[in-house]
A = this chain, B = another copy of it.
Amino acid sequence: MNAVNKDVQLFKNHLVQKRLKLTRQRETILEAFLKTDHITAEELYRKLSGRKQGRRLALATIYRTLNLLCEIGIGQQRHFDDNKTIYDNVLHKKHHDHLICNKCDKIIEFESPAIERLQEEMATRHGFTLHHHRLELYGHCIDWENCRDRQRAAPR
C-alpha cells in the first residue's frame, strides 16, 4: 500500500510537470494498473466497469491513460503472440522477460543476467548497439490442468 501511494505521488508529479490534470478517471485507472503486472485495455475496462462506485469509464479513456502511462515510463506496451496490446507495469521493476503458458494463459516474469550478457555479445558481434530486447518463452506450465478458468493468472 505504501509503495503504491508513492507511485501515485510519482504519477501526480509527472502530471504537474507536464501541466496535465489529475482526474478521477486517471486515478482510478492508475490505481488498478499498479495492482497488476500486465493487463490489456479491454481487461482493465471490464474490471473497472463492473465496479458499483463511480460512473462509467470510456474504453477510449483507458487507452488514452494507458498510453499516457507509457509516455511517463510507468507502463510499457508489449505484443505477445496475438495482436492485442498488453500494457506492462514496469514501475520500480527491473527489466524482465516472460514465460507464457499456452494452456492457461499464465504469465510469469523472470530475469536472467546470464542471458542478457549473451545478448549483448550477440549484438556486438553484429555491430549493433542494443537499446532494449524482448524475450518470450512459450510452453505449458506443470499445473495448467488445475487452471480451469484459463484466465490470465493473477500477479504473483
The residues of A with any CB-CB pair to B shorter than 8 Å are 77, 79-81, 83, 85, 99, 101-102, 108, 110, 112, 114-115, 118-119, 122-123, 126-143
Contact = CB atoms under 8 A, between A and B. Distances in A.
Count copies of this chain in the complex: 2
Given A115-B115, A118-B114, A123-B99, A139 B130 contact: yes
Closest 8 pairs (CB-CB, A-B):
A127-B142, A130-B139, A79-B79, A133-B137, A128-B139, A131-B139, A134-B136, A135-B135
Nearest to A129: B139
Contact of A137 (B99, B119, B136, B140): B119
Contacts of A135: 119, 133-136
